[in-house]
Structure 1
C-alpha cells in the first residue's frame, strides 16, 4: 500500500490491515482513533506521530522509534516490539498517558522522558526494559499531584526502574527478578504476589506498601530508605529477619 492510499484509508476512518512498512518516516497525518491489525513496521521513525486512542492488534514493530509521539489512550494487543536479534524499540519524549498494553512483548524496550500517567500493562514481557526519567504523574493543581499506573502479571526481570515514583500504584503479580528499583518511591504501592528475588531496592521507599504473598528472599530492610507500615504475612517475617542477620528462636515452655 502506497502512502496516498494509506492516507485515504486513514482519512476515511477505515481499519488498516496487513500493512508492511520499512526504513521510512511515518508521514505527517492525524491517526486519532485509527485501527491497525496484522501489520509490520521495521525501522520506522514515528516522529511527532499522532495515534491518540488508536488500536494496534497483532502488529510487529522492529527497531522502531516513537519520538515526541501523541499516543494517549492508545491500545496495543498482542503486539511485539522486539526481535530475535535483540533489537529494541524506543519511546522518547512521547505522551503515553492512559495507554494500555496487553500480552505484548516489550523486552529491552526503552521509555525515555515519556509521560506514562495511568498506563496499563497486563501479561506483558518487559524483560530488560528501561524506564528513564519517565513520569507516572499529573498535576491536578499547584499543590496536588496524582500518580497512577497499573502493571499486572508482567515479566519484568532485569527491568530498569531506578528512581521512579510509583506511590500508591498497582504492581501486583509481576516477576521482578534482579530488577533495579533502587531509589524508587513505592510508598503504599500494591506489590502483592510479586517475585522480588534479588531485586535491587537500595534506597527505595516501601512505607505502607503491601508485599503480602511476594517472594522477598534476600530483601534486606536495612538498605531501604523507609519501610514503616510495610505489610507482610507471618511466614515472610522470618525471611526478612533472616536477611538482616537476625536469628529467631522459639522459646521452650
Structure 2
C-alpha cells in the first residue's frame, strides 16, 4: 500500500505494524514511531521535522530492519535502541540524529555477527553514533562534521568521498 503527499501531526504510530508500506512526499511532524514495526517500509522524499523544531520524530526501539529512507529530512530524529539491520538511508538529512545503542548487526552466535547498513550521500553532522557497530557497511559520500563516533566500530566500511572533521576520526 502506498500513501502519497499526506501530513501527519502529532500522530502516534507506536506499537503499530507499518511493515511493507510505502510513504512518498509525506510529512510527519512530532510523530511517534516508538516500538513500531517498520520492517521493509519505504519512505521517499518525506519530512520528519518542521523547520524551527529542536526535536524530530521518535523511532526508539522500532523494528527498522530493511527499511528504506530516500531523500528524507530526518534531522534530530531519535533512533536509540532501534533494530536497523539492513537499513538504507540515501541522500537524507540526519543532522543531529541520535543513533545511540542502535543495532545494525545480526548476531549469529556469541562471537559471530554481521552488520548491514547502506548510508550514503547523507548529512550526519552532529549525529550521535556513540558505540554503534557499522562494520563492512556502505557509508560513502557522507558528511561527518562533529559526529560523535566515540567507541564506534566502522572497520572495513566504505567511507570514501566523505567529509570529516578531525574530532570524529578518533573512532575510525
Q: TM tier, shorter chain?
A: over 0.9
Structure 2: distance between partners of 1:142 and 1:186: 20
Choose from 58, 67, 71 the match for 1:103: 71
TM-score in terms of structure 2 length: 0.94
| TM-score normalised according to structure 1 size | 0.65
1:56 aligned to which of 13, 16, 23: 23
* 4+ runs deviating over 4 angstroms: none
Correspondence for 2:102: 134
Residue of structure 2 in register with 1:39 after alignment: 6
Which of 1 and 2 has higher RCO (CA within 8 Å, sep 6+)? 2
Distance 1:81 1:199 in 2: 28
* Structure 1 residue 132, shift from structure 2 partner: 1.6
- Aligned-partner Cα distance in 1 for 2:169–2:159: 13
Question: How many residue pairs align between the two structures?
Answer: 171
Find the residue that maps to 1:45 and give its secondary structure. Answer: coil
Structure 1: how far apart are the matches of 2:91 and 2:133?
22
Gaps of 5+ in 2: none
User: Match of 2:11, SS?
Assistant: strand
In structure 1, the residue matched to 2:165 is: 197
Please state if 1:154 is matched with 2:122: yes
Q: Whose helix fraction is larger, Structure 1's or Structure 2's?
A: 1
Distance 1:148 1:90 in 2: 22
1:84 to 48, 51, 57: 51
| Residue number in structure 2 paired with 1:75 | 42
Q: CA deviation at 1:199?
A: 4.0
Q: CA contact under 8 A between 1:82 and 1:106: conserved in structure 2?
A: yes
Query: For each residue in 1:183-232, what CA deviation from the matched residue of structure 2 results, as whole angstroms up to 9, or x when unmatched?
Result: 11011111001001244243x2x4xxxxxxxxxxxxxxxxxxxxxxxxxx
CA distance in structure 1 between the partners assigned to 2:58 and 2:14 by the alignment: 12
The Cα of 1:141 is off from its aligned counterpart by 4.5
The root-mean-square deviation of aligned C-alpha atoms, in Å, is 1.3
